[in-house]
Amino acid sequence: MNKILLLEDDVSLVDGLVYSLKKNEFDVEVARTVYEAIQYLSEINRYDLLILDVTLPDGTGFDVCERVRKENQQIPIIFLTASDEEVSIIRGLDSGGDDYITKPFKLGELCSRIRALLRRAGVSKSEKNTSMECGDITIDLLGSRATLKGKALDLTSAEYRLLCLLVRNANRVVTRDIILNELWDDTGNFVDDNTLSVYARRLREKVESDPSRPEHLMTIRGFGYQWKEVSV
């Protein structure tokens, strides 16, 4: 499990971030001031990635980033900024940041950016499992392919991501809000509620022997979807 240090002083934002990151299998520690972050970073090798808010009570995330880079540490760094002004973005990247995301943002987008940076840095610890199996479905995570009873499924990238999310949470209800935060379409845009319904219907048609009487991909009305493992 990858360990993240989050530097953020907004209590309401911290609670949501920590909840979402832990749900996505990241271990998180929180610092609320520059001073506190620097104390944590005395053991920087404990962390795989830093998420730094720009504006803090006793300084800026830029200060922390510059300090880390002066020590020649190559740990991935993402800035959280309330401003999408070019000057702020440039300063963040020039100080050594690897990416930035502007508030307000979707938690799913942040998690996707984290995973991308960890893969790029070669420190992703969630890649140990290269496949998932659930009943007759096998998912090749490295090849981004799925098979049903040994036969390849012809899935769009969005359908594939939806299948992965549901199978990973097999026998649990995944709410529409969580799916909408995690899912994006083939052009890189997050999907809306109606589009999600279309993806679910199309995926059901590809994985169910009788889509009108599904055994696996269940709609839980008013909540979301559930992938049911069917005992043979």
Q: How does pLDDT run across 16-49, given as a tens digit for each residue?
A: 899 889 988 899 999 999 999 999 998 888 899 9
Compute the distance between CA of residue 21 and CA of residue 35 in angstroms, rounded to an integer.
23
Confidence grade of residue 52 (pLDDT, cut at 50, 70, 90): very high
Class of domain 3-121: alpha beta
Residues spanned by CATH 3.40.50.2300 within the chain? 3-121
CA-CA distance, 210 to 177, in Å (whole number)?
Answer: 27
Percent of the chain with pLDDT over 90: 39
Residues of the chain with CATH 1.10.10.10: 131-227
93-97, 125-129, 185-189, 218-222: range with highest mean pLDDT: 218-222
Q: Under CATH, which architecture does the 131-227 domain have?
A: Orthogonal Bundle (1.10)
Name the strands in the sheet holding 217-220, side by side, starting at the edge strand that comes first in the sequence: 173-175, 224-227, 217-220
Alpha-carbon 30 to chain mean position? 18
Q: Which of 76-80, 92-96, 131-135 has the highest mean pLDDT?
A: 76-80
pLDDT digits (tens, 9 = 90+) for 148-197: 999 999 988 788 889 998 998 888 888 988 888 777 655 555 678 888 99
